[in-house]
Amino acid sequence: METDKTSDMSKRSIEKFFMRYKSDLSSKVYKGVANIYSAELSRVKDEYYKDKIADAEGNTRKLYAITSDLLG
């Protein structure tokens, strides 16, 4: 799997291509890549917070800090 930085760079290059040519095909390709990127980013965030919560099991202070961080 690509790293986040590599994935972001390819998404950005496809976005530049779309902005330059603005065809239906480039629009569909960009939207597809953007959806894949967004889904992957959500998956990685979910995994990250699941691991943090699992590490804080039984420690209410850590759980509160994680919840506070998530809710802003």
- What whole-number distance in Å separates Cα of residue 23 and Cα of residue 33? 15
Q: Where are the alpha helices (DSSP H) in 1-72?
A: 4-21, 24-55, 60-71
Q: Would you place residue 1 in the very low, low, confident or very high pLDDT band (cuts 50, 70, 90)? A: very low
When comparing pLDDT for 13 and 56, which is higher? 56
Checking 42-49 for CB contacts under 8 A at 24+ apart, the result is 44/4
What is the total residue count of the chain? 72
The reported pTM is: 0.62
* Residue 3 scores a pLDDT above 60: no
